[in-house]
Structure 1
Amino acid sequence: MTNLRKPCIAGLLAGMLAVSATQAHAAIPLLGKKKPKDDLPARKLTPAQNALIDKAIAREAEVVKVVRDRAPLVETYIQNMKPDPALLQVPVSDQHFLGRVDFGKVIGDNPYEKSAVKHTGTAGEKKGFMSKLNVFKGSGSYIGGLNRSLHLEFSEAGFVQMLLIDSKDFNRTQYKFGFVRNDFVGSVRTAVFDVEPATNHTRGRFFGRIWIEPQGGNIVRFNGSFAGTEKDIREYYHFDSWRTNVQPGLWLPTSSYMEESDPKSEENTVKFKAVNHIWGYVLKVPQNTSDNVDVEVAGATDVSNDAQDVSPLGAQRAWVQQAEDNVIERLFQAGLLDAPSDFDKILEQIAGNILAYNNIQTARPIRVRTLLTEPLESLAIGNTIVLSKSLIDTTAVPGDKNEQVNNLYAVIAFQLAHIIQGHRLDTKYAFNDRLLFPDTAAFARIPMHHTDRDNEEAAKKTVELLQPKELQDAAGQFGLYLAQMQARYKSLTALNEPMLGDSLLKDAKTGTFWLQGLVSKGQKLNMNDLKQNAAMPLGSFLRFDPWTDQVVQMHSTYEPLLSSRDKMPFEVTPVYLKLAYYKAPTTAVDQAAANAAAQNAAGSTAADVASQSANGQAAPANGTAAPAAQPSNGTAPADGTGTAQPTAPATGTSNPPQK
């Protein structure tokens, strides 16, 4: 049995990933042990370079203080890979973990204490696999909740790698530095340094490269592993960690990527790859007694003079809307839904087009929000449609035939069908006391998935909604997307397990979909056809602001496909953020998101006050401004109906060059 080390507090999250990946692949053999060497550039650092390193060490200590007072959501998605003769490598299995991490309880353990991990030998575990509870011993309720269907629990554990370089001893005594070059990361100018432990007898210390921005001395990216020198202890896994300038002078961990090569592969394939996302930094730190707080009502508009009597049908609809608003607000407070964004307005415009093309009126406008989690799912909460971020990402196929918009038409039409057919939200949530529970229970207390009967009815209605000539291409395009998923569903069980709403799959054993009828309307899947792109990798279209929880579109350049290996449908890919310095909100939507984030933060600490110089205002994700959406005609016009005139939605997808 190979001994694994207790995750050291020196960084953040590699420990959890390393063990998670080991759990999925027993005793993964890694490449040779990495020993600290005296091989940094011999060139003496200049006084300016030394000053910048000292500034970065001081700033890193401040980042640790800020993170210590936070309880953000941390999501980990792992794909275990196998070699493929045509595609080089493909996923063979996956795992998904989501936790609310109270870093005040995590930072400060003994970073170098070893702990043995025992096999359980329980039925259903392959030889060499390890029990989740044993592997994550000491990880408290977060790990205790991994086997539960909802996967949302607070963590009291010690996995703090990959987000903080060394939360206790990042200093000149423990590390030595060598200048590499100056570099731009996005629009941020940085100085790049190699870093290694100061002695050859240190294990668990960071060993790699850091990028420091000169304005504030903040480390904005670091890349490497953690050094190990003992023969009986395996090397840590490698990672690439990125931060975002969320407030003036404050850069916080946002995303990280990790992979390890397969030493048995002659083609240098990857054994596994994983991605971490962190958001919800302003979520209220959990209290020991209760998660309930009094809410101050402010800013209400007095319309009492315009009030009218309410009919029985109007009362019923108002009651449903009250339940809808309660649930949406509660999910946002738990950090699961995005803050209002321009992109949500574009999705609402698409919903409005479907209604307009079908000449359907709704009593209230259709709203659309984004679920910030990885699994592919959609749901309808009253008149609010929710799509998961990865469902949007993987359907964002670039092209000159509106491929992405056609996919979104099909996805949104399925939930519109639920709304049109009266598959209503359980109105028990109109009673506010039913929503007074801790964030950790959000999924358990608010199941939003539809029944099998409702989904079957909605599937039939979806086919009808896509009949208008303006929408007929949507069925074939989304059918091709489903065909791609059908080829990989056995390997992506975690990605297809919804956390809140409806899965794409009707039957996970046979790989049939609720919208199975659309598969025959699309092209035959051909991975060798470079003109055919059925589904995108994860993280292809949306980024998020980890402070405000607002999503924003990426504006990436078109990358031509050179071989079938470039397609990578539904796969994890490396993280490359377009870094930029903080900018205060410039649009009403951005300001609304900033205000919502401020309301979500209860009890600011001194560190908060120091970093929130703009009255709680936050920048759009990664410092990039969200594109201005066209006016949403998918909302109700002045006469109060939900009828809309169709317009061309602007999703911002780059079209490939014409050949």
Structure 2
Amino acid sequence: MNLRTKLTAAVTLTFLAASALPASAGVFGKKKTDQTVTRKPTPAQNALIDKAILREAAVIKTLRERQPLVETYIQNMRPDPAMIQVPEMDAHYLTRINFGKEITEVGYADGKKDSTGKFGGIKQALGGLAGLTKSLHLSYDEGGFVRMVVIDTNGPNGDAFDRQHYNFYFVRNDFLGTVPTVVFDVEPIKRSAGRFFGRVWVERNGGNIVRYNGDLAGEDKDRAEFYHFDSWRSNVQDGLWMPTASYIEESDPKSPAHVLKFKAVSHIWGYSLKIPNKDTDQTSLEVEGAIDTSQQAPDVSPLQAQREWVQQAEDNVIDRLYTAGLVDAPSDFDKTLSDLANNILAYNQIPTARPLKVRILLTTPLESLSIGNTILISKSLIDTTAIPTTDGAQQGANLNALLAFQVAHILLGHRVDTKYAFSDRLLFPSERAFQRLPMHHTNAENVEAAKKAMELLNAKDLADGQRYFSLYLQQLQAREKGLPELNKPQIGDGLLKPDGTFWMQAIVSKGPKLDNNDLKQQGAMPLGQYLRYDPWTDQVIQMHTTYEPLLSSRDKIPFEITPVYQRLTYWQPAAAPVAAPAAAPAPAANNAPVDNAPAAQPAQAEPTTGTATPPQN
């Protein structure tokens, strides 16, 4: 069994909800909760527990009406004398969960062919589970991912989290962000596999479970390994708290330095996507309020017609990626990136009649792509390049370099295949999006685009920033052997050539040498550094965090998974739209950079008085 299969199996088994023991395995359980640190609930607390049980059943009912996406990324760790531990290998997969009559999952095939000529995906990744599950005395079924989404899905309706199966003990009152919670320890009455054993945070006002932390019930001697998880939920609508993310880690018991065996994170989004039909996600839309202005339009020149045809293909592909849950809904941060991309053209005095647009690819692998005049950049590229400085110069320079590569593709005419202008080409199930919409460029096109990107970045206003992206690439080069899945693009262009060097290798020599011991120098950030997304609307949101100064080189954790910790808040309805003022006359066309565009902000908010400040540039 390969490492990816083992890691995938490990996290999958963590989330297993409907697992069954072999007849010979017997029943196992944990020791009872230490009652010296917990107390029996008061009548008011018991009433809150009863409400939480009802709300948990309501969450399951809502999940049955949805088909969210779940992405899991895993890093296997190894000891390192300088950093204590670093990633040794990783695994990544994406799946859509169906909470219908039977809980199932459908993986997003990655579009890469294996040795048999067949496309890979979740089925291939889980192909070797039989041997591992046998050693753990567990059996696997395709509803395994549900374990991180709800607490207990045993029982005919998947809602076995109740007083007939669990005991509850009061621990304390607590705040998670601005949300008041009551914390309870939970243990199963009958100690059997698949029962949750741990701690829950119950939101005080509505009785919703907003966080739970623990593992499966059982004795260590009865199975080979345990996998602990910490699951969080978000208030996505009035009174509705839905699963958002889970963090999983397990330590190596043989390591005197307490090195982790692996750590993983799962993100859940796409709750509001239209539920796909049996064979396709396509739907018929009626555009309300549209005004037919076709008779007012001037004649279209042949070149305009060609560009409109390309635009139609671009729009079709972007819309299809959005309905597949892979691209974010338009957001303010997208506008910021779009301004940066158009400024690259302005600094190079390149006129354009069609402004560039930028959207975020919601998946983890480091990749970017261009579809017509729209650039897609993965969320993890944004996160890991968001180096905190007082002026935001390092983050801005990194974004310019990432955007310049795809701007170069657009300028060189490496356009989207116009076959997608025919809408029937987009009629396929969402999990086939990576296979049916390969947007990556050829090696020759990437070489040509890298050369053109360097020309764009040599503009007077951009040249000084090359040194920052040099540090980023050097940091990635130092870690890339342990992160093959993070560097494997799913649909677009990665940063690495097939030989392990970078497409934009020429920029590496533009900066200082990477020094891990220099606390004033930081090449890359951990995953999840800068953006979060609303799991209901799929919009990305810039995070505002306080600055955490580096105390040693071990605080540098580039490209690594970190624990999930959310500042929970209550949902607020969107503000009523303000009537737009009368349109002002359009300004004369010019090619000047956007002076009042929202600049790329420092990745972390400036600290308050008395705390350390981010490095100066």
Please confirm whether the aligned pair reaches a TM-score higher than 0.5, indicating the same fold. Answer: yes
Query: Shift of residue 644 of structure 1?
Result: 4.1
Query: Shift of residue 438 of structure 1?
Result: 1.5
1:164 aligns with 150
Deviations 1:195-234 (A, max 9, x none): 11124x4332111111111111000001111111384424
Deviations 1:494-525 (A, max 9, x none): 00010110000012xx4200000111111211
1:190 aligns with 181
1:525 aligns with 514
Query: 2:65 is aligned with what amino acid?
Result: D
Query: Shift of residue 648 of structure 1?
Result: 6.0
1:410 aligned counterpart, secondary structure: helix
1:98 aligns with 94
Choose the corresponding residue for 2:354, options 357, 360, 364: 364
578-587 or 344-353, larger mean C-alpha shift: 578-587
The CA distance in 1 between the partners of 2:475 and 2:502, in whole Å, is 12
Q: 1:478 to 1:301 in 2, by over 3 A?
A: farther
Q: 1:646 to 1:505 in 2, by over 3 A?
A: farther
Q: 1:474 to 1:108 in 2, by over 3 A?
A: closer
Query: 1:104 is aligned with what amino acid?
Result: G
Choose the corresponding residue for 2:339, options 313, 330, 349: 349
The CA distance in 1 between the partners of 2:342 and 2:546, in whole Å, is 29
Deviations 1:147-204 (A, max 9, x none): xxxxxxxx953432122111231111211111111111011111111111124x4332
43-52 or 79-88, larger mean C-alpha shift: 43-52
The CA distance in 2 between the partners of 1:466 and 1:546, in whole Å, is 35
**C-alpha contact 2:470 2:510 (8 A) present in aligned 1:** yes
Query: Shift of residue 14 of structure 1?
Result: 7.5
The CA distance in 2 between the partners of 1:136 and 1:396, in whole Å, is 41
224-233 or 431-440, larger mean C-alpha shift: 224-233
Query: Shift of residue 38 of structure 1?
Result: 4.5
Query: 1:551 is aligned with what amino acid?
Result: V
The CA distance in 2 between the partners of 1:343 and 1:584, in whole Å, is 20
The CA distance in 1 between the partners of 2:427 and 2:483, in whole Å, is 34
Choose the corresponding residue for 2:421, options 430, 434, 438: 430
Q: 1:228 to 1:183 in 2, by over 3 A?
A: same
Query: 2:146 is aligned with what amino acid?
Result: V
Query: 1:162 is aligned with what amino acid?
Result: M
**C-alpha contact 1:34 1:229 (8 A) present in aligned 2:** yes
1:574 aligns with 563
2:310 aligns with 320
Instruction: Note the residue ranges of structure 2 that are not aligned, 5 or more in a row.
Output: 2-8, 17-27, 106-115, 117-123, 134-140, 154-158, 579-585, 607-612
1:57 aligns with 53
Instruction: Note the residue ranges of structure 1 that are not aligned, 5 or more in a row.
Output: 2-12, 21-32, 110-121, 123-129, 140-154, 590-636
Query: 1:353 is aligned with what amino acid?
Result: N
Q: 1:136 to 1:217 in 2, by over 3 A?
A: farther
Query: Are residue 175 (structure 1) and residue 171 (structure 2) matched?
Result: no
Query: Are residue 133 (structure 1) and residue 133 (structure 2) matched?
Result: no
2:551 aligns with 562
Query: 1:652 is aligned with what amino acid?
Result: Q
1:36 aligns with 31
**C-alpha contact 1:220 1:242 (8 A) present in aligned 2:** yes
The CA distance in 1 between the partners of 2:406 and 2:71, in whole Å, is 26
Deviations 1:602-657 (A, max 9, x none): xxxxxxxxxxxxxxxxxxxxxxxxxxxxxxxxxxx755677644456433323535
2:206 aligned counterpart, secondary structure: coil
Query: Are residue 288 (structure 1) and residue 278 (structure 2) matched?
Result: yes
Query: Are residue 550 (structure 1) and residue 536 (structure 2) matched?
Result: no
2:23 aligns with none
1:306 aligned counterpart, secondary structure: coil
**C-alpha contact 2:14 2:228 (8 A) present in aligned 1:** no
The CA distance in 2 between the partners of 1:252 and 1:60, in whole Å, is 10
Query: 1:196 is aligned with what amino acid?
Result: E
Q: 1:561 to 1:42 in 2, by over 3 A?
A: closer
Q: 1:588 to 1:34 in 2, by over 3 A?
A: farther
Query: 2:463 is aligned with what amino acid?
Result: Q
1:215 aligns with 205
Choose the corresponding residue for 1:241, options 231, 254, 263: 231
Q: 1:650 to 1:408 in 2, by over 3 A?
A: same
The CA distance in 1 between the partners of 2:104 and 2:593, in whole Å, is 56
**C-alpha contact 1:352 1:646 (8 A) present in aligned 2:** no
Query: 2:57 is aligned with what amino acid?
Result: A
Query: Are residue 515 (structure 1) and residue 504 (structure 2) matched?
Result: yes
Query: 1:544 is aligned with what amino acid?
Result: Y
Query: 1:157 is aligned with what amino acid?
Result: G
Query: Are residue 89 (structure 1) and residue 38 (structure 2) matched?
Result: no
Q: 1:475 to 1:308 in 2, by over 3 A?
A: same
1:456 aligned counterpart, secondary structure: helix
The CA distance in 1 between the partners of 2:233 and 2:193, in whole Å, is 25
Query: Shift of residue 299 of structure 1?
Result: 3.0
**C-alpha contact 1:36 1:196 (8 A) present in aligned 2:** no
**C-alpha contact 2:231 2:243 (8 A) present in aligned 1:** yes
Query: Shift of residue 543 of structure 1?
Result: 0.4
Query: 1:132 is aligned with what amino acid?
Result: L
The CA distance in 2 between the partners of 1:18 and 1:42, in whole Å, is 26
Deviations 1:401-424 (A, max 9, x none): 511111001000110011111111
1:610 aligns with none
Q: 1:317 to 1:14 in 2, by over 3 A?
A: same
The CA distance in 1 between the partners of 2:520 and 2:366, in whole Å, is 25
2:298 aligned counterpart, secondary structure: coil
Q: 1:639 to 1:325 in 2, by over 3 A?
A: farther
The CA distance in 2 between the partners of 1:534 and 1:383, in whole Å, is 30
Q: 1:316 to 1:79 in 2, by over 3 A?
A: same
**C-alpha contact 1:195 1:210 (8 A) present in aligned 2:** yes
Q: 1:320 to 1:290 in 2, by over 3 A?
A: closer
Query: Are residue 204 (structure 1) and residue 183 (structure 2) matched?
Result: no
The CA distance in 1 between the partners of 2:401 and 2:387, in whole Å, is 14
Query: 2:236 is aligned with what amino acid?
Result: V
1:453 aligned counterpart, secondary structure: helix
The CA distance in 2 between the partners of 1:191 and 1:564, in whole Å, is 38
Query: Are residue 261 (structure 1) and residue 272 (structure 2) matched?
Result: no
292-301 or 539-548, larger mean C-alpha shift: 292-301
Query: Shift of residue 136 of structure 1?
Result: 7.1
What percent of counterpart residues are identical?
61
Query: 1:425 is aligned with what amino acid?
Result: V
Query: Are residue 227 (structure 1) and residue 217 (structure 2) matched?
Result: yes
TM-score (norm 1): 0.79
1:6 aligns with none
1:71 aligns with 67
383-392 or 179-188, larger mean C-alpha shift: 179-188
Q: CA RMSD in A?
A: 2.7
**C-alpha contact 2:184 2:200 (8 A) present in aligned 1:** yes
**C-alpha contact 1:14 1:161 (8 A) present in aligned 2:** no
The CA distance in 2 between the partners of 1:108 and 1:408, in whole Å, is 39
1:304 aligned counterpart, secondary structure: coil
The CA distance in 2 between the partners of 1:45 and 1:468, in whole Å, is 67
Query: Shift of residue 437 of structure 1?
Result: 1.5
**C-alpha contact 1:84 1:90 (8 A) present in aligned 2:** yes
Query: 1:651 is aligned with what amino acid?
Result: A
298-307 or 546-555, larger mean C-alpha shift: 298-307
1:377 aligns with 367
Q: 1:235 to 1:281 in 2, by over 3 A?
A: same
Alignment of 1:403-442 (within 5 A): 403-442=394-433
1:496 aligned counterpart, secondary structure: coil
Q: 1:492 to 1:108 in 2, by over 3 A?
A: closer
2:111 aligns with none
1:481 aligns with 472
**C-alpha contact 1:361 1:643 (8 A) present in aligned 2:** no
Query: Are residue 386 (structure 1) and residue 366 (structure 2) matched?
Result: no
